[in-house]
Amino acid sequence: MVFWWILPLALVLAFALTAVLRRYAVNRSMIDIPNDRSSHTVPMPRGGGVSIVISFFISLVCLWVGGWGGMPFFLGAAGCGVIVAVIGFMDDHGHIAARWRLLGHFIAAIWGVVWIGGLAPLNLFGSLVNLSWVGSALAVLYLVWMLNLYNFMDGIDGIASIEAICVCIGVSVLYWLSGHGTLIWGPALLAMAVLGFLYWNFPPAKIFMGDAGSGFLGVTLGVLSLQAAWVNPEFLWAWLILLGVFIVDATFTLLRRLLQGAKVYQAHRSHAYQYASRRCGSHMPVTLGVAAINVFWLFPLAFCVTSYGMNGMLGVLLAYTPLLWLAITFQAGEAEEVTVKR
- Binding-site residues: 151, 211
Give the whole-angstrom CA distance, residue 240 versus residue 320: 10
Q: Sort 266 into a burial class: Cβ within 10 Å, 0-12 / 13-18 / 19+.
A: exposed
Which ranges in 154-243 belong to alpha helices (H)? Answer: 159-177, 185-201, 210-231, 233-242
Give the whole-angstrom CA distance, residue 224 versus residue 203: 28
Q: What is the residue type of 172?
A: S
Contact 191, 164 (CB under 8 A): yes
Q: What is the largest CA-CA distance in the chain?
A: 58
Per DSSP, the residues of 242-281 read HTHHHHHHHHHHHHHHHHTT--TTS----SHHHHHHHHHT
In sequence order, the 6+-apart residues with CB closer than 8 A to the CB of 215 are 84, 85, 87, 88, 105, 147, 148, 150, 151
Tell me which residue of 307, 166, 306, 191 sits closest to 244, measured CA to CA: 166
**What residues are designated binding site for Mg(2+)?**
151, 211
